[in-house]
């Protein structure tokens, strides 16, 4: 292989590396998370806790009569289950991510970030590498929760993080 070809190969390898490293993570869905997070132990509890939570049913809420009434009062032109104003908090990815099933509601990746890259890393063993690949860990303040649990919500009630966290607590340190 001559020098020109070597340079071209190196440029292609570099281009692929840059494209791969700057690629945006994609959502993988709760079923992918379940593969590791339904086994025994701290990590295993996460899926079971989510599955029983109101977060898992967040999209279904939008199909109810109350949601339709709220959508009408807000002057929305689409049904609540189709309205971006509602989907932004009731569906992981805000209803914009094609790879997310709306029926999953607010799943793991709504809080922990799109998992296409960090799901490949055993994050119990290499948490720092998983974080570098996009894993978001909770900070026990509730600030992330308040992106949806805030006064913009038409059904907002004062958000009490410590009280609410007890309902969805999974893994990590107890608050």
**Binning pLDDT at 50, 70 and 90, where does residue 149 land?**
very high
Q: What is the pLDDT of residue 42?
A: 59
Q: What is the pLDDT of residue 25?
A: 92
Q: At what angle do helices 42-52 and 30-37 cross, to 10 degrees?
A: 140
Q: For 154-159, which contacts have Cβ atoms below 8 Å and span 24 or more sequence positions?
A: 154/70, 154/73, 154/74, 155/70
Task: Name the residue ranges covered by the structural domains of the chain.
Answer: 25-168
Which one of 36-50, 60-74, 114-128 scores highest in mean pLDDT? 60-74
Q: Are 164 and 55 in contact (CB under 8 A)?
A: no
Would you tell me which CATH number, out of the four given (1.10.287.130, 3.40.1160.10, 1.10.10.10, 1.10.1130.10), belongs to the domain 25-168?
1.10.1130.10
Q: What is the pLDDT of residue 160?
A: 92
Higher pLDDT, 138 or 65: 65
Tokens (6 digits) for 45: 């509890």
Residue 107's Cβ-count burial label (10 Å; 0-12, 13-18, 19+) is buried
Number of other residues whose CB lies within 10 A of the CB of residue 98: 8
Whole-angstrom Cα distance, residue 13 to residue 152? 47
| Tens-digit pLDDT profile for residues 81-93 | 999 999 999 999 9
Q: Are 95 and 102 in contact (CB under 8 A)?
A: yes
The pTM score is 0.79
| Tens-digit pLDDT profile for residues 47-83 | 999 999 999 999 999 999 999 999 999 999 999 999 9
Quickly tell me which residue has 């608050």 as its tokens. Answer: 175
How much of the chain exceeds pLDDT 70, in percent? 82
| Tens-digit pLDDT profile for residues 3-12 | 644 434 444 4
Q: What is the pLDDT of residue 20?
A: 44
Tokens (6 digits) for 174: 């107890």
Q: What is the pLDDT of residue 58?
A: 97
Whole-angstrom Cα distance, residue 64 to residue 158? 23
Mean per-residue pLDDT for 86-110?
93
């Amino acid at each position: 292989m001559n020098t020109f070809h070597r340079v071209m190969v190196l440029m292609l390898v570099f281009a692929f590396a840059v494209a791969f490293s700057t690629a945006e993570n994609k959502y993988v869905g709760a079923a992918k998370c379940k593969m590791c997070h339904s086994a025994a132990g701290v990590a295993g509890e996460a899926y079971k806790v989510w599955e029983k939570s109101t977060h898992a049913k967040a999209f279904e809420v939008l199909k109810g009569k109350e949601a339709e009434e709220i959508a009408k009062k807000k002057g929305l032109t689409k049904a609540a289950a189709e309205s971006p104003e509602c989907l932004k908090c009731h569906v992981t990815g805000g209803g914009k991510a094609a790879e997310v099933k709306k029926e999953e509601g607010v799943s793991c990746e709504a809080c922990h970030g799109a998992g296409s890259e960090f799901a490949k890393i055993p994050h119990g063993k290499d948490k720092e590498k998983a974080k570098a690949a996009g894993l978001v860990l909770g900070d026990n303040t509730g600030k992330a929760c308040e992106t949806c649990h805030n006064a913009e919500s038409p059904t907002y009630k004062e958000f009490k993080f410590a009280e609410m966290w007890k309902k969805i607590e999974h893994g990590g340190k107890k608050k």
